[in-house]
C-alpha cells in the first residue's frame, strides 16, 4: 500500500479522481458546493464572509457606543426607533445598552472576526495551496470547524435579541458579574448564551487547529521541507499550536463558571453582598482571581493567535512586492517561535493590579518585556526587506506596510504597560485601549485586508478595484491613527475605560471635544469600510477577470494552480518543490518559482 | 504499510513487555498507597515527613505517567522529533503550576492579613454534622 | 525505531510524514495534548483554591467506605485503589487489543476490546456507587458535610472540585467506552479486515490510555495528598 493511500485513507480515492479526470467527476450540487462544502477553499470563503458580516456588526456596535461617548448630551430619536427602548430609550444609548455594546463589540471582534475570520480564512485557504496539498488532512473536520463557528455565531447573534439583553460584563467575562444572574440584566440569559456560544467556538477552533497542524506537518509536497515553507505557513502553524494548547484552559474556566452560575458552587465566589437583591450570598472560599488566571491563560495567547497570521501574510506580501527575498528568514521563524513560547508564560501581566503577588509580578513583567526582542527582530526584518526594494504599491502591499506601522505604534506602548509599576497608573485606562487596538486590533485588521486584496485573484479569479482600494486604505490608515492616537493622552490623564458618560466627571470634562472628534472619525472610518465591502462583493461577480496565472510574479505554489482551481487544487500531479519561497531578484532574474529546479550555475546563498 | 510503526520485536516479546509494565504500575501504585496509609495512620506526623511523603507520592505519580505514556501509548517507540513535540509544551507546566499555586498562597496570606474576621472565622472549630441524608437535612451544612 | 532509521535524513523533506505517523494519529496525539491542558487547568485550579484556603478536609476521612461494608468500619483508600486497578487492567487489555490489531488477529482484538469495555463499565459503576454514597452523606455541588482536617467548618470547594473533576473524568471514561463499543462493532463487521489495517483501534487505544493517565493524576491529587 502506498504512503499516500494510508495517509489519506478516507480521502484518497477522491484525490485520485481529481488527478485522473478533474473536470467532471462528482456531481456538485448547490448544497455540497456552497453550503456543506469540504473544499478548503470554499470553507475559507465561508469563514471570510461570515467574518466580514461579524466585522460589520461589531464595527456598527462601536459606532453606536461612540455616539454615546461623543455626544452624551444629545438624543437621536431615530436610535430608539431602530433599537428599541432597552437599548436607546429617548434616543440616547442606555447604560445597560452601552455595556452590552462594548462587551459584544469586544467578543465579536476578538473571537469571531480576528480569530475565525482571519486565521480561519487564511489557514484554510493558504495551507493546502502553499504547501502543495490537495486539501486539509481531514476535510470533514474542517467543514465541522466552520459549522461549529457558524452555530457559535448564531447563538451570539440571538443573545443580542433576548429580553434581558446580551452579556454586558466586558469581553473578559470576569466573575462575579458573569457568575451571578442577579448581578446585572445581561448576566441572565445573555450570559448563558454567551458562554454556550464561546464553548462552541472553542470546539470549532480546536477542530480547525488540529487539522492545520496535521496538514502542515504531514502533507507537504515533495521537496517542501520545513525551511522551504513560506512564512505564512510557519505563522499559521504557530497560531494553530497556540490555539490547541490555550483554548482548552478557557474551556475549563468556563465549565467552572457554568457550575458557579447554575449548580451552587463557589469556585470564583466569596464574600458577596448583592445590592440588586439586597442579600448576602452564602458562597465562600472561591477566588475571582482564579478565573482571571484561567481566562488570561487563553487571553494572552489569543492576541498572538490574532497577530501571527497577519505577521505571516505581511512577510509574504512585503517580500513579493519589494521583489526581494525576505530579510532573515530563519530569524523570522525563530522569532515566531519565541513569540509563541513566551505567549504561554506571560498571562498574568493583565492582572498586575488584582493583588497579584509582587514577586510573581516582577517575573511576569520580565517575561513580558522579553517579547520586545522577537517583535523588534520582525519589525527590523520587514523594514530591511523593504529597504532598497523595487517596491510595488499594490493595495495588499499598502495594507502590509500599514500593518508594520500600526504594529510599531502599538507595540512601543506595550513596553509601557508591560511594566508592573507603570501599569498601576495605566491599567484600565484609555491608554490600554489605544495600545491593544493599534497593536492587535487595527494591525491585524490591516493584515486581513492585505491578505484579502492580495489573494483575491486566487480566491475568485478576478481582481478588486484598485482605486477604491487606495481610497479605502488611506481613510482607514489616517482614521485609525486619529481615533487611537488621542486616546493615549486621555489614558495618561487617567481616563478610565468602560465608563458610560465622562461628561459628569470634572476631571474628564476637558476631553468632551476630543471625544466628539474621535467619534466623528469613527463614523467616517466605518463608512469607508463599506467601500471595501462594495469593492469585494462587486468584484466577485463583476471584477476584472484574472488572465495571468501568476499576477504578482510570486514564487509560491498557489500561483501554479489554475486561475479557478477545482477541489483538489492541481489538475495533474502536485508540483515538486526545489527551493525556498523567496528567490526574488536572484542571479538577475526577477523571480524563480519554488517549482524551478536549481540550475547548475546558480549561486548558492539560499536553498 | 509503512505506518504501522510497531513492527519492532515479535508478538510475544511485546506481550511480555506489556505485562512487565503492568507489574511496575501495580507496584508503584501499592507504594503510593502505603505512603497514603502512613500519612493517614499517623495524624501526629511531623510536617517535614508529611511533605516528604507527599513529594514522593508525586514522584511516583509522574513515573506512573511515564510508563503509561511511554509503553502503553507507545510514545517511546516513536521518532525522537515526535516525542519532542509532545514533551516540550509540557515543560511550560513547571512555570504555570508554580505561578498559579504561588499566587493562590499569596491570596491566602493577603486575605488573612487584611481580613481579620476571615482569619478568626477560619480558626473556629465546628461540630461535625451527623451523617444525614442529603435530601432531608440540606439546610444544616455549610454554615 | 530501527526500521525507520534509514529513512530519517529525508523525513522532513516533504512528500511524507516527518514522524512516520499517519495524520489521524498525529491529530489524536495533539488532541490529547489539548485535553491535557483542559485537565491540567482543572487540577491546577483545584490546587490554587486549596493553597488559598486556610484549611482543607482530609481525604482519608471522606473516602473511607466500601460497598456493603458494615457501619463504622473505616477502610480509607481501599475502594479507590480497586478503582485504580480496574482502570490499569483495562488499559492493559486495550494495549493487548491494539497489539493484536497490528498482527491482524481479529479474535484477540475482539476478546481484549470486550474486556476493556467491561473494565470501563466497572469503573463507571464504582464511580456511580461512590457518588451515590457521598450524596447520601450530604455531599454535592455546593454542599460539604466533611469538616476540615483541623476541625473547622467544612470548605465547600472540596466537594465542588471533587465532583466537577471526577465527573469530567468520568465523562471521558464514558466517551471512551462508547468509542470502544464502536470499535468492537466495526471489528465484528470486518471493517478493519477489509481496510487491511487496525490503525483506528490504535487511536481509540491512545484515548483510552489517556483516560487512565488522567486518573493517575486525579487519584493522586484527590485521594493521596
Query: What distance in Å separates the CA atoms of residue A145 and residue A202, rounded to the nearest whole number?
Result: 10
Nearest CA distance, C99 vs chain B (angstrom) = 8
Residue in A151, A133, A162, A241 with CA at minimum distance from that of residue A201? A151
> Among all residues of chain B, which has the CA nearest to that of A242?
B89
| Same structural domain, B16 and B63 | yes
Compute the mean pLDDT over every residue in chain C, rounded to the nearest whole number.
Answer: 90
Query: What distance in Å separates the CA atoms of residue A23 and residue A160, rounded to the nearest whole number?
Result: 45
> Among all residues of chain A, which has the CA nearest to that of C56?
A285
Please give the CATH number for the structural domain made up of A36-270+280-591: 1.20.210.10
Q: What is the pLDDT of residues A476-525, one digit of tens each?
A: 999 999 999 999 999 999 999 999 999 989 999 999 999 999 999 999 99
- Tell whether C193 lies on the interface with B, counting CB pairs under 8 A: no
Q: Which of A146-160, A481-495, B58-72, C137-151 is least confident?
A: C137-151
Q: Range of B98's domain?
A: 80-123
Domain boundary among B41, B57, B77: B77
Backbone angles phi, psi at C69, to 5 degrees: -70, 140
Compute the mean pLDDT over every residue in chain A, rounded to the nearest whole number.
Answer: 92
Q: What is the pLDDT of residues C164-213, one digit of tens each?
A: 999 999 999 999 999 999 999 999 999 999 998 899 999 999 999 999 99
Q: Which of A229-238, A275-284, A345-354, A466-475 is least confident?
A: A275-284
Q: What is the pLDDT of residues A43-70, one digit of tens each?
A: 999 999 999 999 999 999 999 999 999 9
Q: What is the pLDDT of residues A229-250, one digit of tens each?
A: 999 999 999 999 999 999 999 9
Between B134 and C161, residue with greater pLDDT? C161
| Same structural domain, B12 and B58 | yes
pLDDT bracket for residue A95 (50, 70, 90):
very high
Contact B132 C138 (CB under 8 A): yes
Residue in A537, A538, A533, A527 with CA at minimum distance from that of residue A60? A527
> Among all residues of chain B, which has the CA nearest to that of C29?
B86
When divided into structural domains, chain B yields a total of 2
| Same structural domain, B56 and B85 | no
**For C41, which of A6, A252, A286 is closest by C-beta distance?**
A252
Q: What is the pLDDT of residues B87-123, one digit of tens each?
A: 999 999 999 999 999 999 999 999 999 988 888 888 8
**Please, which chains are in contact with A (at least 3 CB pairs closer than 8 A)?**
B, C
pTM: 0.93
Residue B141 confidence (pLDDT): 42
Residue in A386, A387, A407, A408 with CA at minimum distance from that of residue A397? A386
Contact A225 C14 (CB under 8 A): yes
| Same structural domain, B40 and B13 | yes
Residue in A448, A428, A435, A436 with CA at minimum distance from that of residue A494? A428
Counting one residue from A and one from B, how many pairs have CB atoms under 8 Å apart?
A: 43
**For C136, which of B22, B89, B134 is closest by C-beta distance?**
B134
Contact B99 A348 (CB under 8 A): yes
Nearest CA distance, B139 vs chain C (angstrom) = 10
Nearest CA distance, B20 vs chain A (angstrom) = 32
Contact B107 A293 (CB under 8 A): no
Contact A132 C30 (CB under 8 A): no
Q: Which fold has domain C23-224?
A: 1.20.120
| Same structural domain, B64 and B18 | yes
Flag whether B2 is in a domain.
Answer: no
| Same structural domain, B70 and B106 | no
> What is the total residue count of chain C?
225
What are the distances in angstroms from CA A356 to CA A83, A427, C44?
Answer: 41, 14, 17
Residue C9 confidence (pLDDT): 59
Domain boundary among B77, B105, B135: B77
> Among all residues of chain C, which has the CA nearest to that of B137?
C138
ipTM: 0.93
> Among all residues of chain A, which has the CA nearest to that of B141?
A282
pLDDT bracket for residue A223 (50, 70, 90):
very high
Nearest CA distance, B133 vs chain A (angstrom) = 18
Residue A13 confidence (pLDDT): 36
Per the CB < 8 A criterion, the answer to whether B140 and C144 are in contact is: no
Flag whether B141 is in a domain.
Answer: no
Query: What distance in Å separates the CA atoms of residue A24 and residue A13, rounded to the nearest whole number?
Result: 15
pLDDT bracket for residue A33 (50, 70, 90):
confident
Residue C65 confidence (pLDDT): 79
Q: Which of A103-112, A332-341, A542-551, C1-10 is least confident?
A: C1-10
What are the extents of the domains in chain C? 23-224
pLDDT bracket for residue C69 (50, 70, 90):
confident
- Tell whether A348 lies on the interface with B, counting CB pairs under 8 A: yes
Instruction: Answer yes or no: is pLDDT of C163 > 70.
Output: yes
Residue A606 confidence (pLDDT): 53
Helices (H) and strands (E) in chain A, counts: 21, 6
Q: Which of A100-104, B16-20, B39-43 is least confident?
A: B39-43
Which of C69, C93, C153, C223 to mutate against chain B (most B CBs within 10 Å)? Answer: C153
Amino acid at each position: 500500500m502506498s504512503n499516500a493511500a494510508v495517509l489519506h485513507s478516507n480521502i484518497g480515492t477522491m484525490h485520485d479522481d481529481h488527478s485522473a479526470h478533474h473536470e467532471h467527476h462528482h456531481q456538485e450540487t448547490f448544497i455540497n458546493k456552497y453550503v456543506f462544502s469540504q473544499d478548503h477553499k470554499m470553507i475559507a470563503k465561508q469563514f471570510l464572509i461570515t467574518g466580514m458580516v461579524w466585522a460589520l456588526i461589531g464595527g456598527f456596535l462601536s459606532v453606536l457606543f461612540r455616539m454615546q461617548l461623543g455626544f452624551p448630551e444629545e438624543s437621536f430619536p431615530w436610535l430608539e426607533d431602530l433599537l428599541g427602548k432597552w437599548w436607546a430609550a429617548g434616543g440616547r444609548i442606555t447604560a445597560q445598552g452601552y455595556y452590552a455594546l462594548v462587551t459584544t463589540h469586544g467578543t465579536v471582534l476578538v473571537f469571531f472576526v480576528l480569530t475565525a475570520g482571519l486565521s480561519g480564512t487564511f489557514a484554510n485557504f493558504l495551507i493546502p495551496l502553499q504547501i502543495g496539498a490537495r486539501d486539509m488532512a481531514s476535510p470533514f473536520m474542517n467543514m465541522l470547524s466552520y459549522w461549529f463557528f457558524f452555530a457559535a455565531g448564531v447563538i451570539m447573534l440571538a443573545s443580542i435579541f433576548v429580553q434581558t439583553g446580551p452579556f454586558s460584563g466586558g469581553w473578559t467575562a470576569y466573575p462575579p458579574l458573569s457568575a451571578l444572574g442577579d448581578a446585572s440584566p445581561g448576566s441572565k440569559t445573555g450570559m448563558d448564551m454567551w458562554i454556550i456560544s464561546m464553548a462552541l467556538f472553542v470546539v470549532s477552533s480546536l477542530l480547525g487547529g488540529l487539522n492545520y497542524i496535521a496538514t502542515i506537518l504531514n502533507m507537504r509536497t515533495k521537496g517542501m521541507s520545513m525551511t522551504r515553507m513560506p512564512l505564512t505557513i510557519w505563522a499559521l502553524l504557530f497560531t494553530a499550536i497556540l490555539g490547541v494548547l490555550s483554548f482548552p484552559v478557557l474551556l475549563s474556566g468556563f465549565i467552572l463558571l457554568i457550575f458557579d452560575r447554575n449548580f451552587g458552587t463557589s469556585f470564583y465566589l466569596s464574600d458577596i453582598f448583592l445590592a440588586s437583591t439586597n442579600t448576602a450570598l452564602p458562597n465562600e472560599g472561591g477566588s475571582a482571581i482564579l478565573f482571571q488566571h484561567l481566562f488570561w491563560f487563553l487571553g494572552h495567547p489569543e492576541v498572538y493567535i490574532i497577530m501571527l497570521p497577519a505577521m505571516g501574510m505581511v512577510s509574504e506580501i512585503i517580500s513579493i512586492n519589494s521583489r526581494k527575498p525576505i530579510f532573515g528568514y530563519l530569524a523570522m521563524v525563530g522569532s515566531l517561535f519565541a513569540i509563541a513560547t513566551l505567549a504561554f508564560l506571560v498571562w498574568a501581566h493583565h492582572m498586575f493590579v488584582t493583588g497579584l503577588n509582587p514577586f510573581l509580578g516582577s517575573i511576569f513583567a520580565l517575561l513580558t518585556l522579553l517579547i520586545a526582542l522577537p517583535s523588534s527582530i520582525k519589525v527590523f526584518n520587514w523594514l530591511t526587506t523593504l529597504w532598497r526594494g523595487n517596491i510595488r504599491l499594490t493595495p495588499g502591499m499598502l495594507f502590509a506596510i500599514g500593518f508594520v506601522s500600526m504594529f510599531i505604534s502599538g507595540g512601543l506602548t506595550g513596553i509601557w504597560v508591560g511594566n508592573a509599576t507603570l501599569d498601576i497608573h495605566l491599567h484600565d485606562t484609555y491608554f490600554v485601549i489605544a495600545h491593544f487596538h493599534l497593536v492587535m486590533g487595527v494591525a491585524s485588521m490591516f493584515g486581513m485586508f492585505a491578505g484579502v486584496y492580495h489573494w483575491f485573484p486566487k480566491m475568485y479569479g478576478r481582481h478588486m478595484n484598485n482605486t477604491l482600494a487606495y481610497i479605502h486604505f488611506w481613510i482607514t490608515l489616517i482614521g485609525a491613527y486619529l481615533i487611537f492616537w488621542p486616546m493615549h493622552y486621555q489614558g495618561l490623564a487617567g481616563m478610565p475605560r468602560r465608563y458610560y458618560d465622562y461628561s459628569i466627571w470634572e476631571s474628564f470634562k476637558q476631553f468632551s471635544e476630543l471625544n466628539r472628534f474621535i467619534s466623528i472619525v469613527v463614523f467616517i472610518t466605518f463608512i469607508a469600510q463599506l467601500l471595501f465591502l462594495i469593492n469585494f462583493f462587486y468584484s466577485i461577480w463583476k471584477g476584472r477577470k484574472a488572465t495571468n496565472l501568476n499576477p504578482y510574479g510570486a514564487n509560491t505554489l498557489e500561483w501554479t494552480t489554475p486561475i479557478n482551481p477545482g477541489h483538489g487544487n492541481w489538475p495533474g500531479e502536485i508540483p515538486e518543490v526545489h527551493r525556498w519561497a523567496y528567490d526574488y531578484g536572484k542571479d538577475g532574474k526577477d523571480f524563480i518559482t519554488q517549482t524551478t529546479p536549481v540550475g547548475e550555475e546558480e549561486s548558492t546563498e539560499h536553498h | 504499510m509503512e505506518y504501522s510503526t510497531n513492527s519492532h520485536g515479535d508478538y510475544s516479546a511485546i506481550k511480555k513487555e506489556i505485562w512487565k509494565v503492568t507489574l511496575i504500575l501495580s507496584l508503584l501504585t501499592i507504594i503510593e498507597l502505603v505512603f497514603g496509609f502512613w500519612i493517614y495512620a499517623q495524624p501526629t506526623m511531623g510536617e517535614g515527613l508529611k511533605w516528604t511523603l507527599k513529594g514522593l507520592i508525586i514522584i511516583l505519580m509522574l513515573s506512573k505517567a511515564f510508563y503509561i505514556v511511554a509503553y502503553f501509548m507507545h510514545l517511546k517507540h516513536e521518532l525522537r522529533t515526535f516525542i519532542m513535540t509532545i514533551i516540550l509544551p509540557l515543560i511550560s507546566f513547571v512555570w504555570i503550576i508554580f505561578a498559579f499555586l504561588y499566587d493562590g498562597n499569596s491570596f491566602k496570606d493577603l486575605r488573612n492579613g487584611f481580613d481579620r474576621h476571615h482569619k478568626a472565622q477560619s480558626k473556629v472549630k465546628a461540630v461535625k454534622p451527623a451523617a444525614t441524608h442529603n435530601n432531608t437535612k440540606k439546610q444544616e451544612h455549610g454554615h | 525505531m530501527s526500521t525507520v532509521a534509514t529513512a530519517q535524513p529525508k523525513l522532513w523533506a516533504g512528500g511524507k510524514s516527518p514522524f512516520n505517523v499517519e495524520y489521524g494519529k498525529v491529530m489524536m496525539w495533539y488532541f490529547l495534548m489539548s485535553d491535557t491542558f483542559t485537565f491540567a487547568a482543572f487540577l491546577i485550579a483545584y490546587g490554587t483554591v486549596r493553597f488559598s484556603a486556610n484549611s482543607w478536609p482530609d481525604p482519608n476521612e471522606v473516602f473511607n467506605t466500601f460497598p456493603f461494608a458494615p457501619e463504622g468500619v473505616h477502610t480509607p483508600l481501599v475502594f479507590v485503589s480497586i478503582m485504580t486497578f480496574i482502570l490499569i487492567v483495562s488499559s492493559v487489555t486495550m494495549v493487548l487489543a491494539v497489539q493484536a490489531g497490528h498482527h491482524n488477529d481479529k479474535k484477540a482484538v475482539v476478546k481484549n476490546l470486550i474486556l476493556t469495555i467491561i473494565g470501563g463499565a466497572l469503573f463507571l459503576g464504582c464511580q456511580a456507587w461512590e457518588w451515590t454514597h457521598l450524596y447520601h452523606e450530604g455531599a454535592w455541588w455546593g454542599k460539604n458535610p466533611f469538616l476540615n482536617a483541623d476541625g473547622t467548618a467544612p470548605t465547600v470547594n472540596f466537594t465542588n472540585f471533587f465532583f466537577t473533576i471526577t465527573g469530567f473524568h468520568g465523562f471521558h471514561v464514558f466517551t471512551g467506552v462508547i468509542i470502544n463499543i464502536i470499535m468492537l462493532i466495526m471489528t465484528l463487521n470486518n471493517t478493519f479486515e477489509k481496510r487491511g489495517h487496525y490503525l483506528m483501534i490504535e487511536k481509540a487505544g491512545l484515548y483510552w490510555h489517556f483516560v487512565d493517565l488522567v486518573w493517575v493524576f486525579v487519584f493522586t491529587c484527590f485521594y493521596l495528598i
